[in-house]
Amino acid sequence: MEGHRYRIGYHVSTAGSLSLAFDRARALGCTSMQIFMSNPRGWLIKIPIKEDIAAFRGKSSETGISPVFAHMPYLPNLASPREAVRKRSIDALRHTMKLANMLGVGYVVAHLGSHLGEGMRIGIRNVIDSVQAAIGNSKCRLLLENQAGQRNSVGSSPDELMEIYEGISSKDVGFCIDTCHIFATGYDIRRPEVMDGIRKTIGMGRIGLFHLNDAKYGLGSRKDRHANIGYGFIGSEGFRSFLGYRNIREKPFILETPRNGTISAEEELNVAIRLFNEALT
């Protein structure tokens, strides 16, 4: 569906070169995209050479794909009560934001992690301290992603996210709300009154990104398992209602849905755009 006006895209691969992500996103019809800037299952964050940085910035200008979001690797645990792990996680976030600045990427998305059974109060305090130690004078905005309510997870509910936000002195921090995660936590985003509650708690202005994912399991499952749009428990009707909420369509949306043959990426993006349009009617 060419010429759509929404900022929507996929998490795309950077295999071969960081700048190739723009070619892959453009081929899919994306107007926004999300990437990993390093191995998502490792600690090492490799700084690219000047030529690769220049190529990335050049493709950004050439394609006009914007905004671009960088997702932190999975291993860091900003909420960890284990000092060595938390220190390493702070370093990973600091280096991720440094690399984002070098590439001209405006946003970094971070999972908050687990308190490992030590309690939510300790987990929230650790996240606040970790973020404070990592962000420094970064030019990019850090987006804290809500979790799916798994055991010991920190930052699943809007109340928890807001408590973390209020504890961070820098306000160049916002939220990434994942639709699968919030649904799995027990918030039925298909209902406008539930969206009203989320808006009143964290404020729509603080949301810098939505991860647009259907949920493989039902409302309140507390399971982080994404499904393709319309193939999960949120469903097409649910997304049509969600996307019709106030001015939500002005936000960027990134799909992190499975690539398992259920539906092609191009077809799914068109489904999402169709739901956007139908939500207007």
Task: State residue 30's pLDDT score.
Answer: 97
CB 82 within 8 A of CB 116: yes
Task: State residue 42's pLDDT score.
Answer: 75
Express as a percent the part of the chain with pLDDT over 70. 99
As a residue count, the chain comes to 281
Regions of the chain with pLDDT less than 50: 1-3
Residue 2 located in a structural domain = no
d(CA 99, CA 80): 24
Statement: the pTM of the whole predicted model exceeds 0.85: yes
d(CA 77, CA 112): 6
Task: State residue 162's pLDDT score.
Answer: 97
Q: Which domain holds residue 157?
A: 8-279
Task: State residue 136's pLDDT score.
Answer: 82
Residue 93 located in a structural domain = yes
Residue 3 located in a structural domain = no
Question: To 5 degrees, how large is the angle CA 70–CA 106–CA 160?
Answer: 70
Packing angle, helices 50-63 and 20-28, rounded to 10: 20
pLDDT digits (tens, 9 = 90+) for 24-39: 999 999 999 999 998 8
Residue 68 located in a structural domain = yes
Task: State residue 4's pLDDT score.
Answer: 66
Residue 71 located in a structural domain = yes
Contacts of 56 (CB under 8 A, 6+ apart): 18, 19, 22, 48, 103, 104
Residue 69 located in a structural domain = yes
**Sign of the torsion formed by the C-alpha atoms of 68, 228, 195 and 129:** negative
Residue 1 located in a structural domain = no
**Sign of the torsion formed by the C-alpha atoms of 272, 277, 280 and 281:** negative
CATH code where residue 23 lies: 3.20.20.150
Task: State residue 44's pLDDT score.
Answer: 72
SS3 176: strand
Report the number of distinct structural domains present in the chain: 1
Beta bridge partners of 254: 9, 211
In the 8-state DSSP scheme, what is residue 249?
Answer: G
